[in-house]
Every structure is written in C-alpha cells, then in structure tokens.
C-alpha cells in the first residue's frame, strides 16, 4: 500500500492503529508511525505471529528507524465519550504528535476518525496489509501492555500484568472479590453491573 502511495507522490505516509478497545480496565492506546521506505524493519508483516521476544526486538527497530508517536485516551474519556470515540481520540492525538505532519494516513479499521483532516483511508485488517499499520500495532500494543503492568503493581490480584485488563477468568473473579478500581471502565457492562449490584445487595 505504501509503495502505491509513494508512486502517487505521497512521501510521509503514517500507519495508525489502536489497541485496548476490549479490556475492562486501563486506557485505550494508539500509535502513528511513519516508516522510512528505504529502511523498513524486517518482520513487520507478521506482527500477530511474532513471539513476545521477537516483537520487542522489532519494536526497538521501529523506534530506532521510524517516526513514532503514541497517545492514549483515559478511562474517564472512554466512560464519558464511548469506547469507539475514545479510541479515535487516541488516534487523533497520535497523528497530531508527528511533526512535521504526515501527508497521508492509513488507518486500521473501517472508519476514519472525524478529527483527522489529512488525506486518509481506512484499511480493514490493516496490520496484515500495510507495514506502517503493522508497525503502529506493535508499538501501541507493547506500550499499553507496559502501562497495564505498572497498574498491576498498584492493584495486585486482577492479573493485569498477564491479561492487560481484558476480561480473563482471573480478572472477572477479582472484580467480584476485590471490587472496582479507579482504572476500571464504568461504562463497560461487567463493571457497571458490579457497581450496580453493590448498591442493591441484600444483607
């Protein structure tokens, strides 16, 4: 995809992806990455198949050789806006952080965030079709995973260092036993139900 756009005269093509729509806790994280067309890290096409160790090595390559901006939308923003709009907000922030700005955006998914006014296209399953989106998916995932490891140290028991806030069995059981933390998304049904339940429990 990048090669075709370069042929049309676009020089600064940013791949944009987000991670963290499904978890019950933590921010949603997006990355925007502009790769150097003559210095593309190896292994990007297969981001889903990479082992954690290999993914970290590729991430380091991306950070060393590409322009990268990572941004978040907070739990409060997720709850006040909704998860789709918050994930788009994180994408908009990531793109705004690239300086000078890109001249074309490849955005993973089927929607273009409304705050992005640059020429752009939405690419379904983009991390398998665009090296820039694959790069963005790797750096966004690893950044968010680290945020959740940090939060896990403040709130042990939920398994965030392993489940990254997704609703694993351990996480759901911890919600029942330990309750809701400030990092939980109150607009998400399992968390909302817990809070509501807590108000109406019978002795």
As a whole number, the mean pLDDT across the chain is 93
Q: What is the pTM of this model?
A: 0.93
In whole angstroms, give the CA distance from residue 28 to residue 140.
9
**Average pLDDT for 146-165:** 97
Number of folded domains that form the chain: 1
Strands 67-73 and 120-123: unpaired
- Could you read off the pLDDT of 54-71 as tens digits, one per residue? 899 999 999 999 999 999
Task: Please report the pLDDT score of residue 200 as a whole number.
Answer: 44
For 65, residues 6+ apart whose C-beta sits below 8 A from its C-beta are 35, 36, 39, 41
pLDDT in tens, 27-37: 999 999 999 99
State the pLDDT at residue 202: 41
Distance CA 77, CA 2 (A): 32
Q: Which residue range(s) make up the domain with 160?
A: 2-200
Question: What is the C-alpha separation between 97 and 199, in angstroms, rounded?
Answer: 42
Whether 180 and 195 have beta carbons less than 8 Å apart is answered as: yes
Answer for the pair 103, 117: CB distance below 8 angstroms, yes or no.
no
The whole-number pLDDT of residue 20 equals 97
Q: How confident is the model at residue 203 (pLDDT cuts 50, 70, 90)?
A: very low
Looking at residue 53, which CATH number applies to its domain?
3.30.420.10
pLDDT at residue number 44: 85
- Where residue 195 falls among pLDDT bands split at 50, 70, 90? confident
């Amino acid at each position: 995809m990048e090669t075709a756009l370069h042929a049309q005269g676009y020089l600064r093509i940013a791949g944009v992806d987000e991670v963290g729509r499904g978890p019950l806790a933590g921010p949603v994280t997006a990355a925007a990455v502009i790769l150097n067309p003559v210095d593309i890290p190896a292994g990007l096409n297969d981001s889903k198949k990479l082992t954690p160790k290999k993914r970290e090595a590729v991430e380091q390559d991306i950070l060393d050789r590409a322009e990268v901006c990572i941004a978040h939308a907070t739990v409060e923003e997720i709850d006040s806006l909704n998860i789709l709009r918050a994930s788009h907000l994180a994408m908009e922030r990531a793109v705004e952080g690239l300086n000078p700005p890109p001249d074309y955006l490849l955005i993973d998914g089927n929607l273009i965030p409304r705050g992005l006014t640059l020429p752009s296209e939405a690419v379904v399953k983009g991390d398998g079709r665009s090296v820039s989106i694959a790069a963005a998916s790797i750096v966004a995932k690893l950044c968010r995973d680290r945020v959740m490891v940090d939060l896990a140290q403040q709130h042990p028991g939920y398994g965030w260092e392993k489940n990254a806030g997704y609703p694993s069995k351990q996480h759901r059981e911890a919600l029942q036993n330990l309750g809701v933390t400030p990092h939980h998304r109150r607009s998400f049904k399992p968390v909302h139900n817990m809070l509501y339940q807590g108000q109406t429990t019978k002795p």
